[in-house]
Amino acid sequence: MENGLGNQSNKLIQDSRRTVYLDYLPPYQTDTVNEVVREIRVADRESLGILQTVTNGGEIAFNPMEHPSEAASLLMFHTSNLYNKRCLMAYHNLRLRRIRQYCWSGGKRMESCIDTSLNQAEQEYLFRYSELVAAYKGPWVDLDLTGSLVPPKNLFIDVRVLKDVGDIETEFGTISLTKNSQLYIRATDVERLIAQGYLVRLS
């Protein structure tokens, strides 16, 4: 867009286009998102200032025919804000869709980049959505709705604990999951913990 408006949003769209072809989720673009939000707020302030001036603080109606240059500026800021907001929504929608896919995959993707790629809000979303998936799955205890249709090659997997979990009960007894520990454990016993970001699969 002209005058540099929308340039930061374009970066988000470029990042989203790359993300579509990746098997992992790139780091959240905090600085770029903040710049887009700042640009929206600046445009709002500029628009309000123009309206306050031409309407004498709201005492008279705004007539675009009498103030063509101001009307053009208002249109530019309005169009810029619409563009920026759509880009923000598209960027975040793609990331949230990837997170949901991750939850339904049973934690088989994105394990290594949860802490580095997701911001705090996304990590909270991941945790809450994983809980919803687990609750939805609850009535069908013997049916794994998040499991792959392809039979697993190995029933046991190597995992590393990213966050302290404590003790969990398995068919083979109690297992303690402490941060940075590494275990060889049955996949079905820790799939939910992997999906929630507590563990990472190593193999």
Domain residue spans of the chain = 2-135, 151-201
The one-character DSSP state at 105 is T
CATH for 151-201 is 3.40.5.60
In order along its 203 residues, the chain shows pLDDT tens digits of: 445 677 899 999 999 998 888 878 899 999 999 999 999 999 999 999 998 988 887 778 878 888 889 999 999 999 999 999 999 999 999 999 989 888 877 655 556 567 788 999 998 998 899 888 878 777 665 566 656 666 667 788 899 999 888 888 887 788 889 999 998 988 888 887 887 788 888 86
Per-position DSSP letters for 168-185, written without gaps between them: EEETTEEEEE-TT-EEEE
- C-alpha–C-alpha distance, residues 163 and 173, integer Å: 21
This prediction has a pTM of: 0.67
CATH for 2-135 is 1.20.58.1030
| Burial (CB count <10 Å: 0-12, 13-18, 19+), residue 120 | exposed
Question: What is the CA 43 to chain-centroid distance, rounded?
Answer: 26
Q: What is the dihedral of CA 73, 78, 84, 89, to 10 degrees?
A: 180
Per-position DSSP letters for 4-64, written without gaps between them: GTTHHHHHHHHHHHHHHT-SSPPPP-HHHHHHHHHHHHHHHHHHHHHHHHHTTTTTS---T
Residues found in the chain: 203
- Hey, which bits of 62-193 come out as E strands? 156-161, 166-170, 173-177, 182-186
pLDDT of residue 1: 47
pLDDT of residue 95: 94
- C-alpha–C-alpha distance, residues 181 and 198, integer Å: 12
